[in-house]
Structure 1
């Protein structure tokens, strides 16, 4: 592909080259796919727009067109992906002014969100329904337990090998993932912050020390042939329905783990480290609703304390 940028080419063509030059090989495949989806929408919304003609009105029209079909947060993500390319075009002198300045982000009315996490009672009911037989192959129920106890990601759980456990120190090392989508084996973690040691409770240590006895040290304990995210979600769904709790995904167990820690008063910094978030900002944004509830409880506690003062 010709990589020279010029101001007289179509904007979507410029964006396609921009992805090739700046993003391909620099971001994870899942992120690259999002950029490619953005490219598809640019072709649809502005098929004839030339780079040099891009102005605030034109850019706002693109954003408005995208917002007709997407919620505001999704539109915001689209805006950030396109804006990155536009700012580079501005630096290169292909356009004279920043057309993204003062853009108004709109979007469809958010649909009713599915419940993403369980409360403590629901989680207890779910875990009590698991078939945790240590004498059989380590199956999906064991992964459900471990994700609920640690908050690790699905791909991180798949990458766990016996040597990742340090039973004497009661920790689990997360230092790799498993590429279940393409079947290429072990892969790096999502980011450097995802490399971490997670403390385990004594019961989990006892269970997995027994489970992993005699297993190959460097082979994943949960991978037995082809692996699909939909498979464990189906197993989890059956358990949820059986015990009468909301149906959540395996990623929902990660949210459940974090939510319970926050409600128990664990600091945001500690939760962020345990989840492998790159910054506390990610944790705060993801669990804003819970943090707000806790702040309301704090206000009530402060008022009760002050009312008792003479």
Structure 2
């Protein structure tokens, strides 16, 4: 009797309850926001679909309808966020067969993406166009992200005491809640807590810049604590245009940093530690195209070495 009641419940109502029970408090707020957005799309696309009515055809139609307004990767994410709840409903006997089986993921043609990173010459050109005044501005923030590869939220959370100028290190131990109401938050994962070695030029520049600033107050966040990613991206866009280099995003500075290290021959393990990745697998997936390019260079080097032996 109870099963029949839930079987006749609207699917978006069931999904909202599933999110509350299984996801609330177990995932980061950013990820939670994605699940809640998926719920909103269910309300829009299938407002009257009941749990027990879901079939392979109705599920595929739901994906197709979502795909008309989204790229393929976004549709894939939508599918993954739904699948857990749907499979639980199958396990509970509310849906007879797995409707997600053999689902076909469609989507709009991706828009032309911004370049993800700059090469060494382009980065050097960009940095020479920074306006590094005596007082703190976003140009200083851009310089630091380019030199360290830290995440946007990690950079915003930096305080003067995170800099150890004697040992030329920068401690990453927190992030800034720029998507909420400000304030410090934990890092993305335990691996993100790390010390990053700084080059001597950066040490000299920042040791002068930070003199007299409160030790435990964020360097780049002003009084109200509200920072928008788009604000800093706009600054970077203007700088890229001025320097006549490809227009990258703030996150692109992280990609640029990692790419230059890999091309310089730094090991994947060291790059992963510097970026604060949970595992080398993340680094390998993110920079697969560069790693493959380097492997091709290695093959040429191996062949040249072997041919010289004859």
State the TM-score, normalized to the length of structure 2: 0.91
SS of 1:6 mapped into structure 2: helix
What is residue 57 of structure 2 aligned with on the other side?
A: 57
**Partner of residue 208, structure 1:** 206
Quote the residue 1:174 is aligned against: 172
Query: Structure 2: how far apart are the matches of 1:237 and 1:52?
Result: 50
Alpha-carbon distance between aligned partners in 2 of 1:96 and 1:278, rounded to the nearest angstrom: 38
> What is the CA distance between 1:207 and its match in structure 2?
1.6
Give CA-to-partner distance per residue, 1:220-265, whole Å, 9 cap, x none: 1111234332222222122111110112221111111111112112
Matched, 1:219 2:217: yes
Alignment of 1:74-89 (within 5 A): 74-89=74-89
Q: SS of the residue aligned with 2:195? A: strand
1:71 to 1:300, Cα distance in 2 relative to 1, 3 A: farther
Offset at 1:305? 2.7
Counterparts of 1:202 and 1:173, CA distance in 2: 16
- SS of the residue corresponding to residue 116 of structure 2 reads coil
Aligned residues: 304
| Alpha-carbon spacing, 1:192–1:13, altered in 2? closer, same or farther (3 Å) | same
| RMSD, aligned α-carbons | 1.9
Give per-residue Cα distances to partners, 1:244-302, cap 9 Å, x unaligned.
01122211111111111121122222222211122222222222222222222223223
State how 1:1-310 maps to structure 2 within 5 Å.
6-133=6-133, 136-225=134-223, 226-310=226-310
CA distance in 1, matches of 2:41, 2:216: 43
SS of the aligned residue for 2:49 comes to coil
The 2-side partners of 1:164 and 1:80 are apart by 38
Q: CA offsets, 1:156-186, max 9 Å, x none?
A: 1110011111222221111111122333311
What are structure 1's unaligned runs of at least 5 residues?
none
Three-state SS of the structure 2 residue aligned to 1:184 is coil
Runs of 4+ in 1 over 4 A off after TM superposition: none
Taking the aligned partners of 1:100 and 1:309, their CA distance within structure 2 comes to 57
Q: Pick closer, same or farther for the CA change 1:111–1:299 going to 2, 3 Å.
A: farther
Q: Which moved more, 1:156-165 or 1:30-39?
A: 30-39
More divergent stretch after superposition (114-123 vs 103-112)? 103-112
Q: Which one is further off, 150-159 or 298-307?
A: 298-307
TM-superposed deviation, 1:117: 1.3
| Displacement of 1:193 | 2.0
Worse-superposed segment, 156-165 or 188-197: 188-197
CA distance in 2, matches of 1:68, 1:74: 11
How far did 1:93 drift? 3.0
TM-score by length of 1: 0.91
